[in-house]
Amino acid sequence: MARIGYIVGSLAEDSVNRKLAEVLVAQAPERAELTEVDIRPLPLYDRHLDEDFPAEMTAFKEQVSACDGLLLVSPEHNQSFPAPVKNAIDILTRPPRQGVLRGKPMGIAGASPSRFGTINSQTQLRTFLPLLGVKLMGTPLMAVQVTEDTFGDAGPDEQIATRAAKYMEALTTWVEQHS
């Protein structure tokens, strides 16, 4: 069983990225076990906290450490990823020599109303996550343009569900091969 922790990069209650994460979880193959690693309780990182890491940060790190792989489903804010996502990544790399990201297989996905569907945010994540030792999956891309109908009452748009299934199959294989 591939244990994959998923992070929703939005703090918003009605987040479209949370909805996308739910579709990805629903479409994951049976050999993957998806669990949310919640970033909402995390305090803002400050390097003075290295001496006495807050319990929420330690619990978050332990959850990530226990996963075989990670899935980040994040919005795009001002052509980049939102501050809570950077905060979470910083926490996962601290205190020094006690980071939990090195060697971790990971996939990224995101949803936005823009026709580019978080691609700039994802491109920026791709520039530095490998430098932290993350084994980042290259393809397929999961950058979704959302409309009112994408996550409607009748269930997710069929095309999105199909893409999500292909994406989760690829991510599960990636995690199996790299963990």
- Shortest Cβ distance from residue 115 to ligand FMN (Å)? 9
Spacing of C-alpha 143 from chain mean position: 12
Cα–Cα distance for residue pair 53/121, rounded to 1 Å: 29
Verify binding: residue 78, ligand FMN, rule CB under 6 A: yes
CA distance 86 to 97: 19
**Residue 16 near residue 111 (C-beta atoms within 8 A):** yes
d(CA 107, CA 126): 10
Residues between 81 and 120 that touch ligand FMN (CB under 6 A)? 112-114
Which of 75, 84, 99, 107 is in the footprint of ligand FMN by CB under 6 A?
A: 75
Which of 4, 39, 67, 76 forms a contact with ligand FMN (CB under 6 A)?
A: 76
Smallest gap from Cβ 41 to ligand FMN, in A, equals 17
d(Cα 40, Cα 100) in Å, to the nearest integer? 19
- Give the total of residues touching ligand FMN (CB under 6 A): 13
Interface residue list for ligand FMN (CB under 6 A): 10, 12, 15-17, 75-79, 112-114
